[in-house]
Every structure is written in structure tokens, then in C-alpha cells.
Structure 1
Amino acid sequence: MPFISQIERQTDYNLFPSSTPIVIDNGASYFRIGWAGESEPRIIFRNIVQRPRHKATGETVSIVGDHDPALLKYFDCTRSGPRSAFDNNVVYQFEIMEYILDFAFDRLGANGSQIDHPVLITECACNPVQSRSKMAELLFETYGVPSVAFGVDAAFSYIYNQRLGVCDKDGLALCPGFTTTHVIPFVDGEPVYKGCCRTNIGGYHVTDYLKQLLSLKYPHHMARFSWEKVEDLKTEHCYIAPDYSIEARLFQRGTKEAEDKTRVWQLPWTPPPTEVLPSEEEIARKAATKERLGQRLRDMAEAKRSNTGYASKQEIESAMVKVAQSLRKAKGEPKGEQADIEEKTDSSTSEKYSLINIPDNMLTPEQLKEKRRQVFLKTTTEGRQRAKQKRFEEELEQERKNQLEEERRLENPELYLEQMRAKYKELCEKVEQRKRLKTNGGHSNGNNFPGGVGRGERLNAAQRERMRLLTTAAFDRGKGEDSFGAKDEDWQLYKLMSKDNDDDDEGPDQDEAELARISSRLQEIDRTFVPKTDLGASQPASEVPRSRPLTREDFQIVLGIERFRCPEILFHPNLVGIDQAGLDEMAGVSMRRLLSKDEDLEKRLTRSILMTGGCCLFPGMKERLEAGIRMIRPCGAPIKVVRALNPVLDAWHGAAAYAANSQFQEQTFSRMDYYEKGEDWLRTYQVRYTL
């Protein structure tokens, strides 16, 4: 089976005799394997498996533990994510466990699937018989292991630190692991499993909680918060608060002490290019280049004029007019300006509108209908041409005004900017006042608050007058009879009212257009200008407020209250919705489960409390745990909390030292015992830690 890994394969496997045990610390987070009697494990990797397919060949490969992220671009990982064999610190996916053991034995240097060495493997406290039986079946049937021994990881760590003088024979082993937390009491160096206590919370939940908080706080950088990066942030910056409520109020007030405890993670950020003003030499060089190009264009125009014999464009147009007049004179056509206009029009106009100049009495009914159509078409065409000419003249006029404004701005930029701001303010007030009048007619309701009751108060004076005329005209035929509209002249009133309405609305449209133009102009020449957004239709929909440029602070992840809020779930699991006991309360529960009336034993247990496991590395864990246990113990009771020498690796260290003992073979059960006694013997199997 092909493996992809950065871990090198060991080469001295054959140098160890078959009697040397292989020690495995099978943790939910990391897998550690090595030889008994050695000081450090040979192979350490994350206890996860991923089996993607190669994009080119379609071959399925196994990625176990740590891997190079650059290699994943060659594999299709959409249907195969990282998977673990554990469920709350209990192995239940033995198919995945087989991949992990294959990889571990392969990297240890084993040739083939046959393992001729005894195996000591760790498990959690009070491991279910079903899980232990499946693990024994996997080791015996698949790998041919001669003998197997099972031991609790926290117990091995406690015995190892006891031999080094860190803790006593009687005490408590408190092990906050990756997904669970165990408290195991020890009496005379042996664990008392009836007093064990377990909570389904650990380092995994701390990392997941921190990932959620950072994703909610910085949703734009959510892709940065990978599991590995958040794990590093947790290990590097999180700590246990001595008192959570006091620490939270400290950050809420924003004191100097809270600022000192805040950490900042700077994301990669590239500053935008700064606009550098041109120097005087560069300005002079550009002006010289512009003058040189202008002189070249003037020389080219002079050369063209010398070739044609005309000095200007006006002379050319005058010569063309004279030639056209001479041609018309030779053809006998009428002279004058009207003839020039008729010459420029389409020659087929007279044919297209041939019935317009013919009297109606000389035309048939069909011709009259065609004449009316020709009159309509000609009127529409002429109106369109006039509108086009008007727009052209307005554009020329606007261009001329823009040139004059630019000249004024160049003469005195500060005065021009001040005038533009004053004009913008004046137009804003004018538009707002017109909208208020349109809404409530400028009246008040008696309490100095704008707003009317009926429609009459929402109309201005001109609109109310038009409504009065229309209402009066409808009933002035006498006796209240509504005969308005029976004659054509009655509809002239509507035309008059529509004209008045257009005249009344022409001003607001022009003001709003001018306001939009001035706003756009101010945005171009003044970067500090912020247009008003409450004017509604005064600004076109295409104009959106400019967003500020991104700065270095926008790419900073600030870790403040999150530093101690996430590890706090170890003491208060209800922060993440887990209704279970915290670490300090678990110690009291474990001692009460011993059902012992010996006060001296309780004192000995609290006098030696060993913390082991990855979560014990949080700063402040020892002080917080000691203060929490003191709250549930009698006043003056001796309490001593110590931390293991190496909380992460002491479980493997203790197992390796235990397997190196000559009496270790007496604590194992062989493959023949498994075939003869089966699962029932595993149910009562329990290793002794004091050899």
C-alpha cells in the first residue's frame, strides 16, 4: 500500500531481538511508537488518515498523520477528508486503525506484515471490552504478534513521575486529553478504577471553540483559520485565568493591563503603492515634450495649408460656398441661404412627401389619408432633427462652461473649491426644502412637527389651484350635471394643467441634475468630500460611496479575551453547551467515589495531584486547579498540585520503562491464550503497574 509521508523509515529494525517489546502510545491526537527501554519514541505522527485518489492515475493512496500540503494539489481530496479511528478516546473504527498500524510498523522498519515482537499498547481508563477485543484481534490475526499487554496512558505517566519523585504513591492523576478528561485515584501505586471520573471535553474542544470565535470575529479572514494554525495559536497564546469573571471585567474596562495581555497576529499584507508627486525636473521635461509635440502638429498643419493654398478652415468653407453658388447659377437654380439648406437635405424629400403641398380638394380620400401620414412623418422627422440640434448645442454650451470652470479652478483653486462647496450646500438645502414641501406642504400640525393629515396639506399652492379648476369645471354645466369632456375644447384645460405641471417640475429636475454634477466634481478635486446620502434621487444610483483603502490594521488578528475564554471550558464546560463537571469538581467527585472514611487517605490523595496531558501546558493551570480544589475541600486541608515532567510524552516514557522490566512478560497474554480463552479473559484482564 503506497504511503505519502515526510517521516523517514527506520533502518535498525532487524538489530533488535524478538524479545524486545514494541511500545505504542495510541492517543486520540498523536500516535507514538518506539522500542522498550529507549528514552524517546522513534515515530510520532497525528492519529488521522486520509485516502485520496491521484488526479492523473486514479490510484488510491494513504496519507497518514503529517503530510506536505504541497502534495495535495496532485490528489482529489474532495471525497476523502481526514478521519480518526477514535470516538471520545475510544477506538471504534478499526479499518482506519489498521491503516495507522500499517504505517507505524512500516516506518519503524518492519519487513512485511509479520511482527515478531511483544506489543505494549496504551488505552483509556475503563476501556470497553468490545474495543479491547477488536484491538487484540487486529494485532493477533493481522500482524501475528506473539503477545500483547494493555495499559492506561495516565497510569503509566503517574508511575513514571512517581519513580522520579514528582508525586507520591497515593494521589490523583488528572489527565485532560484531546477529547476527554480523566481523573484516576492511586492507592499504593495502583489505580483504583472504581473512583475514576471522566468528562467528554478536552483540547479538541478548546481549539474548536477558538476557531469559532475567530471566524465570527473576522469573517473576511475565515480561510486563514485552518485547524493547524488555530492549534498553534492556542498553544502559543492561550492561558488559564486565575478568576474568569475578574479577568473578563478587566478586558471589558479596557485597562492598560488588558492591553498588555492582548496579542496580535499579523497576516501577510502588501501596502498599496504610494503616489509620488513628480519633481520639478520631471514637470519641466513633460512640458518640453508637450511643447515639442504641439510644435510638430502646428508644422504639419502649416504644411497642409501650404499645399492646399488655404490659410484656415473658414477660407475652405467660404470657397466651397462660392463654388456651390456658381454651380447653382450655371444650372439656373434659385440662390440664397434657403437653396443651400435644400441642397444639403436628402434629394428624395420632395418625392417622399409629394402630397403635402397639394390642396385637399384636389385629392381623393385615399390620397388625403396618405397626405396626413406624410405630414406626420415629416413633422416627426423635423422635430427629431431639431431635438438633435438642440442637444448638440447644449453639449457645446456645457463644454464651454466646463472649460470656463477649469480656467477658474486653475487661477485660484482654493476660491474655486470654496465656491463649489457653498453652491453644493445651497442646492442641498433647496432640494431638501422642496421635498419637505412636497411631503407636507410646508404646514405643521400644531406641535411644530412637520406633517399633514389630508392630501390638501401635502400639495403646494399651484397643485391645489389646478385641482380647484378641474373640480369646478366638472360641475359648472348647471344642476350638478357632469358633462365635462363632451366637447373638444374642454380638454384644453388638461393640456394647460399638464403644461403648468411640466413648468413646475422643470426646476427640481434641473436642480437635482446640477447637484449631482457638483457632487461628482467635488469628489474629483477634493478627497475629503463626503456626499450626502439622504437626498434620495438627488444622486444617481451609479454613485456609491468610495471605500477606504485597506491598511495594515485590517490584516491583524487581535487575541484579547479569547486567550483565556477558550481554555475556560475545561473548568466550565457549559460555555460550549456541555452539561458536565469541570476539572476541579472532578477531583472531588473522584474522591467521593472511593467511599472511604479514612480521612488520612483523603489527605494523602490531595497532597499529590499530578497533572498530565497536553492541556496541562496552559499557563496558570496549576494555580487555578489548586484554587478550585481548595474551594471544595475542608479549610486547612493539604493540597499540592504538580505537573508531570513532560505531560505529552510521559505516558510513552512510563510504558517504555515498564516494558523494559524483566517481569513484563508475566503481565502479557499470548496469542495461544487468546485463542483458548477469548474475549471473556480480556474482560477480567488488568495489568499491575508495581512490578
Structure 2
Amino acid sequence: MDPTCRPAVIFDNGTGYSKLGFAGNSEPSFILPTVVGVNDSFLKNLRQTDASDNSNWLAQYNAGVMADLDFMIGDEALTRSGGIYSLDRPIRNSQVENWDTLEKFWQQSIYNYLRCDPEEHYFLLTDSPVTTPESREYMGEIMFETFNVPGLYIAVQSMLTLAAGYSTPKSDMTGVVVDIGDGAPQVVPVVNGYVIGSSMKSFPISGNDVTHFVLQLLQERGELIPPEDSMETARKIKELYCYSCTDIVKEFERHDKKLDKYIKLWSGRKPRTGVPYSVDVGYERFLGPEIFFNPEIYCTDFTTALPDLIDKCVQSSPIDTRRALYKNIVLAGGGTMFKDFYKRLQNSVKKIVDDRIAANTARLGLDVKPQPVEVNVASNPIQGYAAWFGGSVVASLPEFYDSCHTKEDYEEHGASICRTSPIFKGMY
């Protein structure tokens, strides 16, 4: 059957989690931790033998083959961690650090999870706005050489987030994408589908930092958490109980007046012994996400709040695009899923803009008030996998297959064709 008659496969590989599925679906088929567990006991035993002994060549070969075959990904790898299995995370801070491990992850994703033949499907892969052209070439080489895919499209995550179309009734592919995951968060301005690279801003605090901060607060308060399960416990507490408050001082007062109402109890079991334990969750609930708005409470090296960074991003963009950018600030990534996070962010950015307008009006002595600037932060339940959903929308369009790099193009021109991908002009 013609591969264009089958749904394309969408891979959105992030630092913390990867989203896998088929085009046309409203949500990913699988959301897995981006981690690979490898059984390296064969290689360890091999190192203990005399590698210079030519009589061991067959043992060396078999050990290498077994080490290549015996691996697992996602939650299964996490449950097998320790012992003979070592964990490897191929992506750190949104950049691929180990291509061999990522290839293993793709292999398991295709054959064991999605259970499809890669030669019968086009593929759409996502990448970070700061990905190098060389990384895109590596993606193309692996997909065309190892998996022999018939077609490939590599899209910037920010563009796909806008293509998801949940921020406005009819997206014009213009807006500011605030992408906060476990990796390096990015504030990316996009105008008519093109990323304005010179105005892009990086934010050094990610969702993983919130987890570390929650754990730090719990430990400083004397909560007894099993060391081997500390990060996982903090992560679950963050996802279940944390929220953004409008005023941190008032939130402290509210908690102090009614402790029983706001304190939550987390119960778990120690992984090794099975002994139950419990953790009281108090101020951590709102102090965790607060580091996005007051980063100095977590890291004294960086004091620029996220709303200020978004404002700087827009102000450094072309002047004729600023109103449209303020009007469509789109959230993406699990780090933006806290309750009322979008409200706090919208109010903070709006205050910065209004204060600037008022100060300039007073400085210039204007009698007529300038037209107010509309600030809107879009929030939606799918923002945790917005880039994947945008990929599902894009890969469902008829123009998608004509815009992909094909196997024939790759064989004729090489991996350099993957450095850029055309934008669908007729998408909306």
C-alpha cells in the first residue's frame, strides 16, 4: 500500500518525556520517560577478560550483540534500574547527547509500542528551536538508513504548538510560545510560521528544577523521604498538589490561618522494603511554581522572572509584530500545567506592559491615552503535549506528504536536505 495512504507517525522526543502516536489522533498513543535501560553486564564481563586474546573473538562478538539487543525504554527501564541495567538519557536540556541511545529508543518505540513497519509510514519528528543543522542531519541519517522510512518531516516544536490551533479560533501562526518542560525552557516568538531567532530567550529554570526545589523544601522541613525514592516522590507531589498563587504573602497568611484545609498528605511505600511512609505537603504547594516568578528564592545567579523575559522577547521583536505577539502567548510543556499558572502569567505580563505605557505617557506629557495593548495567555488541557498534537494536525493535511523529504531525495542529495523543512503556506 502507498505510504501516503497510511497515517504518519509522530515522535515528539523531549528531555523528560517522549510522546508517540499517529497523525489524526487527538492525543498520543504513549507518553514515555525518555530513558533507555541497557544490560551492560555482557560488556562488563568482557572487560575482565583479556581482550588481546584472539581466541576470545567469538565471545567478544557475542557479548557486543547481546548488549545491543538487551535493552528497554520508558517506565519499564525505570523499574529495572539498578543491578545489571544502567539508565541512559539520550536527551539533556533539549539537546541530543547520545545518538546511539536515541536510536535504541526509536527502535523500541516503533516495533514494541506502536507496532508498525517504518517502511510503510511517513514520519514527523520534532526538534528544539536551538537544534543545530548537524543534529537534523543525524536524525535524517538514522531514519533513512536504519529504519528506511519513505518520508520524513522535521518540525520546530514552537511552530507545531501554534499549529495546534487551541490558542485562537483560527491560528495565523503568530505568537509567543512559552515551552517549559524538563529540559531547557524557551520563550520563542513566531511570526507567520517563522521563528525570530534573534528575539528568542532562554529561561534557566525548568520543570525539573521545580521538582528539586519541592524536594529541598521537604527535606529542610524534616520530612522523612526514602533517598532512593526522593525525586519520584517530589515529582508526584509537584504534579498532584502544586499550584500558582496570585500573591505569595497572602498565600502564606491563608495557609497559616487554616492549616488543616491546605496541608495535603502524600502516602507511599519504600521501594526496597515496602514499608509505608507519609509526607505532609504544605507551603511547597505554591512555593514550587513560584520560582518562575521569583527565581531568586531558588537560584541567586538568575533573578529575571518569566514575565519579564516574555516582555523582553516581544520588545526585541519587530515593532509591527508586537501587538500580535502579546495577544497570543501560548503555553506548552508539563511545566506550565500548574493550576492558575496562565492567570498569574497573564496578569504579570499585563502589568509590565501597562506600567510601561503609563510611564511613557507621563514622560512625554501626552493628553490622549494610547490604545491599550491586549495581553492574552492561552491555556488548554492539551498543552502538556501541544507540540505532538500540532504535529498530528500538520501531518493530517494533504500538503504534508508533498512537503516531506523522501527517501529518493535523501539518496540523491544526502542528509543536508534535512537541515530545513518547508512551511505549509496553505495550512490555514
Q: TM-score range by the shorter chain?
A: 0.7 to 0.9
Q: Give the match for residue 66 of structure 1.
A: 75
- Compute the displacement of 1:647 (Å): 0.8
- Compute the displacement of 1:169 (Å): 4.7
Q: Give the match for residue 388 of structure 2.
A: 652
Q: Give the match for residue 628 of structure 1.
A: 348
Change (3 A) 1:237 1:15: farther
- Compute the displacement of 1:96 (Å): 0.9
Deviations 1:432-453 (A, max 9, x none): xxxxxxxxxxxxxxxxxxxxxx
Q: Give the match for residue 593 of structure 1.
A: 316
Please tell me whether residue 227 in structure 1 is matched to residue 228 in structure 2: no
- Compute the displacement of 1:161 (Å): 2.0
Amino acid at match of 1:64: I
- Compute the displacement of 1:233 (Å): 0.9
Please tell me whether residue 209 in structure 1 is matched to residue 213 in structure 2: yes
CA distance in 1, matches of 2:2, 2:421: 32
CA distance in 2, matches of 1:268, 1:77: 18
Q: How does 1:312-461 map to 2 (within 5 A)?
A: none
- Compute the displacement of 1:618 (Å): 0.4
Backbone CA RMSD of aligned residues: 3.2
Q: Which residue, 553, 563, 567 being the options, matches 2:289?
A: 567
CA distance in 1, matches of 2:334, 2:106: 23
CA distance in 1, matches of 2:415, 2:248: 48
Q: Give the match for residue 28 of structure 2.
A: 41
Please tell me whether residue 557 in structure 1 is matched to residue 279 in structure 2: yes
Q: Give the match for residue 397 of structure 2.
A: 661
Change (3 A) 1:561 1:115: same
- Compute the displacement of 1:628 (Å): 1.6
- Compute the displacement of 1:17 (Å): 6.4
Helix, strand or coil at the partner of 1:77:
coil
CA distance in 2, matches of 1:136, 1:68: 26
Amino acid at match of 2:100: E
Structure label with greater radius of gyration: 1
Change (3 A) 1:196 1:650: same
Change (3 A) 1:579 1:689: farther
Q: Give the match for residue 579 of structure 1.
A: 302
Deviations 1:147-189 (A, max 9, x none): 2111122321222225861866543222212222222223345
TM score, norm. by length of structure 1 = 0.50
Report if aligned partners of 1:52, 1:77 keep a CA contact under 8 Å in 2: no
Helix, strand or coil at the partner of 1:115:
helix
Report if aligned partners of 1:167, 1:608 keep a CA contact under 8 Å in 2: no
CA distance in 2, matches of 1:657, 1:38: 8
* Pairs aligned (count): 381
Q: Give the match for residue 255 of structure 1.
A: 256
Deviations 1:64-86 (A, max 9, x none): 101287x74xxx82464422111
Q: How does 1:4-83 map to 2 (within 5 A)?
A: 20-52=7-39, 60=67, 61-67=70-76, 72=80, 77-78=82-83, 80-83=85-88
Deviations 1:380-417 (A, max 9, x none): xxxxxxxxxxxxxxxxxxxxxxxxxxxxxxxxxxxxxx
Deviations 1:259-298 (A, max 9, x none): 53222224579xxxxxxxxxxxxxxxxxxxxxxxxxxxxx
Please tell me whether residue 98 in structure 1 is matched to residue 107 in structure 2: no
Change (3 A) 1:267 1:132: closer
CA distance in 1, matches of 2:393, 2:186: 23
By percentage of residues, which structure has more helix?
1
Range with bigger deviation, 28-37 or 666-675: 666-675
Report if aligned partners of 2:350, 2:375 keep a CA contact under 8 Å in 1: yes
Amino acid at match of 2:82: C
Helix, strand or coil at the partner of 2:19:
strand
Q: Which has the higher contact order (CA 8 A, sep 6+)?
A: 1
- Compute the displacement of 1:28 (Å): 1.9
CA distance in 1, matches of 2:219, 2:344: 28
Q: How does 1:420-569 map to 2 (within 5 A)?
A: 556-569=278-291
Helix, strand or coil at the partner of 2:87:
coil
Change (3 A) 1:43 1:237: closer
Q: Give the match for residue 92 of structure 2.
A: 87
CA distance in 2, matches of 1:676, 1:95: 25
Q: Give the match for residue 110 of structure 1.
A: 116
CA distance in 1, matches of 2:388, 2:257: 44
Please tell me whether residue 136 in structure 1 is matched to residue 134 in structure 2: no
Deviations 1:315-361 (A, max 9, x none): xxxxxxxxxxxxxxxxxxxxxxxxxxxxxxxxxxxxxxxxxxxxxxx
Amino acid at match of 2:101: I
Report if aligned partners of 1:168, 1:608 keep a CA contact under 8 Å in 2: no
Gaps of 5+ in 1: 1-13, 270-553
Q: Give the match for residue 374 of structure 1.
A: none
TM score, norm. by length of structure 2 = 0.78
- Compute the displacement of 1:105 (Å): 0.9
Report if aligned partners of 1:207, 1:234 keep a CA contact under 8 Å in 2: yes
- Compute the displacement of 1:214 (Å): 2.2
